[in-house]
Chains A and B, each alone.
Chain A
Amino acid sequence: MAESMVRLQRACKAFPLPEGGTVTALDAIDLEVARNEFLTLLGPSGCGKTTLLHAISGFVELDDGRIFVDGEDVSDRPPHRRPVNTVFQNYALFPHMTVGQNVGYALDIARTPRTERSGRVGAALEMVGLAGLENRLPRQLSGGQQQRVALARAIIARPKLLLLDEPLSALDRKLRQSMQIELKTLQAELGISFIFVTHDQEEALTMSNRVAVLDGGSIQQIDTPRAVYNNPANAFVASFVGASNLFQGMLQSGRVMTAQGDVISTDAAAAGSARVTALLRPEQFTIANGGGNGAAAKLDIGIRQIVFTGAGYEVHGRTMNGHDVVAAIAAAQQAQVASAEISRKATLLYDPAAVHIIAGGGDRS
């Protein structure tokens, strides 16, 4: 595909362990990132996402496979000769340089003429909302401001691709959310591809055009945030992205029966019977008025904990067969939640058509 900005072909990397043997960080990964795309690499720590990022920026040398950026094979180039810039996790601002010197670093290295340099430094700082802070030192800035300096420093050389290595993880929640929106706006303005690494699934869903979920050095699923959330490819993706209730069992004539005896109704059909995992998101549940008798798609639970979240309630319960269930109940059902809290039990209703069925037993390889 000539359109893609980044293409990885069977990228492999294994690290030796100190006690002998190796750990596979990248297991023959194929990946394409389109021009002007915001791709997020999502996964738990140790899943290979940072290694993948470092392979693209050149700090990790691949054991096997090729990397193309904008059609050029950069696999054998050192980091300083790749058209890629990085925003580092802890910003990695040069402590002995002012904000202006930090931002202008790439231009100084490229021997950009003085007048052009100062214009571009000003413009980059303007873009991240830090105009006029050129002469401050990094340590005189707040965390959010340092983050913006790191961003301005990384985009000033107009890279074809910007890599962001968990750049928001050190910020508090509120600042993180506003930076998420800003980053997305900035990406649209710059018109360059972003590869964003995070272990925070909410962050991944908020910002990306596509999300690649990684585990064990390989891509479990790569798709739009909505598809990853609603149609997870396997149980790992389902449990890692968003809160989930997973029921493993046998699918037979519109019902998934777990070994413990829980029954989940579904519209999905299977020829004969098959091992599957049924996924129910917490927000798919409502609490039944009264006993909810007669409804086919229901789960009777004992209440363990009810948490007020502002937008609604998080009801933590357990079925009679000992399966933990979490349900997000809207504030409109306040009365039902109150009575469930008193009676310590509730009947959860759901739409059988919305139950997502994942083939396989749900044990990830």
Chain B
Amino acid sequence: MSGFSRRSRARAQLALLLGPVSLFLAIFLAGPLIIMLIYSFLAPGLYGGVEWEFYPHNFGRILGFADPEFEIFDPVYIAIFLRSLRIALTTVLITLLVCYPAAFQISRLSDRWKSFALFLITLPFFASLIVRLFIWILILKKTGFINVALSELGLIDTPLELIYTEGAVVLGMVYIFIPFMFLPVYASVEKLDWTLVRASQDLGANGFQTFRRVILPLTLPGVIAGSIIVFIPALGNFVVPAVLGGAKSLMLGNLIEQQFLAARNWPFGAALAMLVMTIVLALLFIYIRYEARRGDDAPVIR
């Protein structure tokens, strides 16, 4: 009897604590998402808006079954998809290559230098993203810092094509996402028990063997978490390609933005957004499955 009332009281408390945030998310996250999902299956209206009829060809335009009445299939959207994937993956790889060794170095510093280094890593968050990207324009443009410096030194005659290339987009992405990669990687590197490294060496393993069998597996959770945290926003990013990329390095984010704001084809934009979300959710699902499996052999803190 009292057990029941205690349980119902606990339930009421839970509802009280979780209620507001659940309500907020239901209205402002799930709501628009459902609208997007529905729109992605509706036909675009002639002057914007939607026609209320089932229309699968929004996805068809991307995946290969375009509306036979209006257009023949153009693989340009698949190409943009693949380019976005490529740029996002390259970004993940480069940020990882930068952050992983740095995490080891920083984890060995004394506490004072450690917190200073972490402060430096998070410092860019204090300045506006747009401002930081426009500085890259100053550096990369035809009359920018690099080209002027190189021609002054007599190393080049004509300015290099640095800006408005895929390379510039990757550079900007790496620049933005380094802190996102660094923090999870650092968290797992910092936790690494160095006596395990000693134990491995003691048992005859050289540096490379120790890295492959002990250090990498034990820091892999941080590497995977960092990769996902970087990959997801990199895939849908539209600020960096908008500022540093040219027409040739259009990414999904820009395409979606164009569909909503310029082409006023909301259903097509919604379909693109849904596809990106599907990829991201699939990745997250795999990651959660991996985490759940790993939970069994996660290091125990004693």
Contact check, B198 vs A59: say whether CB atoms are below 8 A apart: yes
Give 1 or 0 for each of B45-83: 1 = CB within 8 Å of chain A CB. 000000000000000000000000000000000000000
Segment of B24-32, B132-140, B204-212 engaged in the interface with chain A: B204-212
Contact check, A79 vs B201: say whether CB atoms are below 8 A apart: yes
When chains A and B are docked, how far (Å) is the Cα of A57 from the Cα of B200?
A: 12
Q: How far is the CB of B85 from chain A (nearest CB, A)?
A: 30
Assuming A94-B214, A95-B300, A137-B297, is B196 touching A85 (CB within 8 A)? Answer: no
When chains A and B are docked, how far (Å) is the Cα of A236 from the Cα of B206?
A: 41
Give 1 or 0 for each of B174-213: 1 = CB within 8 Å of chain A CB. 0000000000000000000101101111111110010001
Q: Is B157 an interface residue (CB 8 A)?
A: no
Mostly helix, strand, loop or mixed at chain B's interface? helix
Contact check, A80 vs B204: say whether CB atoms are below 8 A apart: yes
Q: Contact check: which of A58, A81, A94, A157 meets B199 at CB < 8 Å?
A: A94
Q: How far is the CB of B219 from chain A (nearest CB, A)?
A: 11
B252-302 contacts to A, CB under 8 A, are 296-300
Q: How far is the CB of B113 from chain A (nearest CB, A)?
A: 13
Q: Is A109 an interface residue (CB 8 A)?
A: yes
Q: Is B171 an interface residue (CB 8 A)?
A: no
Q: Is A110 an interface residue (CB 8 A)?
A: yes
Q: How many residues of A contact B (CB 8 A)?
A: 28
Q: Is A96 an interface residue (CB 8 A)?
A: yes
> Which chain B residues border A298 with CB–CB below 8 Å?
none
Q: Is B217 an interface residue (CB 8 A)?
A: yes
> Which chain A residues border B296 with CB–CB below 8 Å?
137
Contact check, B199 vs A139: say whether CB atoms are below 8 A apart: no
When chains A and B are docked, how far (Å) is the Cα of A277 from the Cα of B296?
A: 59
Contact check, B218 vs A96: say whether CB atoms are below 8 A apart: yes
Most B Cβ at <10 Å: residue of A93, A96, A137: A96
Q: How far is the CB of B273 from chain A (nearest CB, A)?
A: 38
Assuming A105-B200, A137-B297, is B206 touching A92 (CB within 8 A)? Answer: no
> Which chain B residues border A90 with CB–CB below 8 Å?
195
> Which chain B residues border A78 with CB–CB below 8 Å?
201, 206
> Which chain B residues border A57 with CB–CB below 8 Å?
202
When chains A and B are docked, how far (Å) is the Cα of A59 from the Cα of B199?
A: 10
Q: Is A88 an interface residue (CB 8 A)?
A: yes
> Which chain A residues border B300 with CB–CB below 8 Å?
95, 139
Most A Cβ at <10 Å: residue of B196, B203, B213: B203
When chains A and B are docked, how far (Å) is the Cα of A78 from the Cα of B203?
A: 12
Q: How far is the CB of A297 from chain B (nearest CB, A)?
A: 52
> Which chain B residues border A139 with CB–CB below 8 Å?
297, 299-300
> Which chain B residues border A153 with CB–CB below 8 Å?
203
State the B residues within 8 Å of A (CB).
Answer: 193, 195-196, 198-206, 209, 213-214, 217-218, 296-300
State the A residues within 8 Å of B (CB).
Answer: 57-59, 78-81, 84-86, 88-90, 92-96, 105-106, 108-110, 137, 139, 153-154, 157
